[in-house]
Amino acid sequence: MISLRSFSLVCLAAAAIGSAHAQLVTSLQLSKSQYVAGEPIIAQIAVTNHSGQELLFRGDTRLPWIDFVVKSASGNPVSARGQNVFGSQKLPAGGSMKTDIDLGRYYLLAESGNYSVSAIVRNPDARIDGVATNKVFFTVSPGRPYWTQKVGILGKPGETREYRLLNFSAGQNSQFYVQVIDDRTGRSLTTFPLGDALLVRKPMTTVDRQQHMHVLYLGTPTMWVHCEVDTDGKLVNRQIHQRGAQGDPQLLTQPDGSVSVGNSIPYDPKAVAEARAKLRKISDRPSFIYE
């Protein structure tokens, strides 16, 4: 039988935890609801401090100040890649902060499927318990390989990469993604979108003498997009082209192994903006003014 003193202590502890929870308002949102396997899954945690004093959020590998609960569609927890530490943050009284965290960096989310995620934010004064955010659902898809090519790395004998151009449909739009795989580990070094694509024209792909991947695809009815990606997965060049006099733009490989875009008119957004501004100035003049 619980004594009156013990019961009072339990009530006081519960009240303290409830008070600590009431001091923080938290929420979670994702950058989008559908992802290609390997691309960053950015979760943004928002916290507002109603404690009446400045709070210093800090943690360690044993007890981080942010924890995530990531589950598959079957309700099974998704394994973490390791122990997570998210640094420290100061939050003044009445202030708000937002923290962006790539879930793919901390959890094994390379498998296709449906997932859910929520976060727990720990008040520095109540380290064990925390305030739970809302739950958000998202989907991870593999994307459809449109083109692949394995290449060696200049100056690194025996090391190879695999370039992949992926087609991913999100709703009514088709998008192209680039994925660079480390052949030694089989892991994706990077996965990122190039942008919306119109598949009424077949994209062109090739590799140049520097082992860089080149992609040329139709982005809008009048604009072609040329992207160049290196073996580290970095987008080193992106240019917009318009149709030339002899038809659609083409990727051209020169005798020295370099790659360029032929039969195109490079799109200059600054020149277009200046021309539009000039037209607006002319149209803005009163109709009774003549030169």
pLDDT at 228: 98
- In our burial notation (b when 16+ CB lie closer than 10 A, e otherwise), range 22-61 reads ebbebebebeeeebbbbbbbbbebebebebeeebebbbee
Instruction: Tally Cβ neighbours within 10 Å of residue 290.
Output: 5
Q: Give 7-66 pLDDT, tens digit per residue.
A: 333 333 333 333 344 589 999 999 999 999 999 999 999 999 998 999 998 876 677 889
pLDDT at 276: 63
pLDDT averaged over the chain? 85
Span 264-290, average pLDDT: 62
Chain CA centroid to CA 257, Å: 33
Span 106-122, average pLDDT: 94
pLDDT at 220: 94
List, in sequence order, the alpha helices (H) in the chain.
4-22, 103-106, 269-284
Which stretch of 146-150, 162-166, 244-248 has the lowest confidence by average pLDDT?
A: 244-248
Q: Percent of the chain scored above 70 by pLDDT? A: 81
Asked if the domains 4-141 and 144-272 are classified in one and the same CATH topology, the answer is no
Is domain 144-272 annotated with CATH 1.20.120?
Answer: no
Q: Where are the domains of the chain?
A: 4-141, 144-272
Report d(CA 285, CA 279) in Å as an integer: 10
Residue with the larger pLDDT of the pair 55 and 288? 55
CATH for 4-141 is: 2.60.40.2970
